Amino acid sequence: MTTHHQHYINGAFVADQHDKWIEVINPATEALLSRIPEGTKHDAAQAIAAAEAAQPGWEALPAIERGNWLRKIAAGIRQHEPELTATIVAEGGKTQGLAQTEVLFTADYLEYMAEWARRYEGEIVNSDRPNENIFVFKKAIGVTTGILPWNFPFFLIARKAAPALVTGNTIAIKPSELTPNNAAIFAQIIHEIGLPKGVINFVYGYGPEVGQELAANPTVGLVSLTGSVGAGIATMQAAAKNVTKVSLELGGKAPAIVMDDADLDLAVKAIVSSRVINTGQVCNCAERVYVQEGIYDRFISALTAAMKQVKFGNPAEQTDIDMGPLITEAALGRVEKKVANAVAEGGKVVLGGKRVGGKGFYFEPTIITGVRQEMEIMQEEIFGPVLPVMAFKTLDEAIELANDCEYGLTSSIYTQNLNTAMIALRKLKFGETYINRENFEAMQGFHAGWRKSGVGGADGRHGLEEYLQTHVAYLQFS
């Protein structure tokens, strides 16, 4: 019997009143997994109203008590880890190892953010006047909302909710309609531990309906979205009429620069890892590779050998694979079209290049050479297991090519020369740069993009401060 999930609003599972449902499909088998309600603006408004009613009482709790609630949620996640892992594998097509890592990293993230309860602070500033102090208080924004993607659906709940809650905000969240089942388990966990009602709310549905209300509702003080550039623009437009603060993590087209003095084995291993993780469906994946001419042939040979070893299949049935399927038939079609366009423009498929027949949305690990900077494959996000590779002569040329893109999320460089690395750090125009390692951020860092890759950011102290606003008080005394 197919599971029918319900919204979670104001501490209760709310039955859908409209009898309109969205089907959730297993991308590895194309089997029906569940149905979720096709929520409306009214449902989203109810979730926001619940968050608004809960917020004053939640903010009034000492921060350490709010942090303790995050720890309770983390403990509940650890208890439900097998169920959560299996759910993420089934609905997202992740490998079992990556799904389990996401679950445990989410618990770690909640505990990490709980530690900030005693650490975030305001300031006392010297005044120009005698007998006066200037206080800078850091206060909660109020009601926040989160609009989630499908590629790391469980972790993104915590990335948005944990800093919101520890700083005294409440939140209403829209999970992706493609991967909502993990959120239903998260809702069950917070229900079981007795989190005060209205502090976290989940409402299902599509972006143009539910997402727009989460961004446009005048009660909302901050809307945080992770998704495409198009979704980010729509969110900004909806939020603009109320001058609502936005925090957006959008697309990426991460360049990987391989210098001729690089540790070749390390570079190949890291770039392959950074491309095939989650079948290439990660915004900070290595999306284009620039290799210095002196090692280009050797690099292509080594890269081809490594990509040939990449195993894929149904992640629910195989544990020794590196990647699963793409998320939907439409995603598979987009990757297939980008490869075909690259070939039509003069690119050469060295490895792979085709969808895999039968059930499931599988695409072969693919390498394309003979590409040029102006080609679509080098400018637009692929979001699949495809690596276009291009040669360059000098570091300055490589940096110019890397920066020649509307995205600015992540980048990487492989070199054993400290001066080369420092020059690259000075000149690369990206929110993050990885040197001699795979593209994967740390929770205590700051994940933020430049240009069309986003506004604001997440993680660490700077990510926490996205959920705070200042209140300055001038106190004169005699």
Q: Tell me which residues are annotated as active site.
A: 249
Q: Tokens standing for 278?
A: 């989650």
| Torsional sign, CA 77, 78, 82, 85 | positive
CA 37 – CA 35 distance, rounded (Å)? 7
Largest CA distance in the chain: 82
Residues 147-177: b if buried by 16+ CB within 10 A, e if exposed: bbbbbbbbbbbbbbbbbbbbbbbbbbbbbbb
Secondary element (H or E) of residue 389: strand 386-392
Secondary element (H or E) of residue 412: strand 410-414
Residues 293-306: b if buried by 16+ CB within 10 A, e if exposed: eebbeebbebbbeb
Q: Tokens standing for 193?
A: 């531990």
Q: What's the residue count for the chain?
A: 478
Secondary structure class of 416 (helix, strand, coil): coil
CA 465 – CA 429 distance, rounded (Å)? 23
C-alpha 168: how far from its chain's center?
23
DSSP assignment string, 299-327:
HHHHHHHHHHT--BS-TTT-SS-SB---S
Let me know: does 302 contact 265? Beta carbons within 8 Å.
yes
Best CA proximity match to 330, nearest among 455, 177, 107, 168: 177
DSSP H helices in 14-114: 41-60, 63-79, 81-92, 96-114
Helix axes 264-276 and 296-308, enclosed angle (nearest 10): 50
Let me know: does 221 contact 144? Beta carbons within 8 Å.
yes
Residue ranges of E strands in 7-49: 7-9, 12-14, 21-25, 32-37
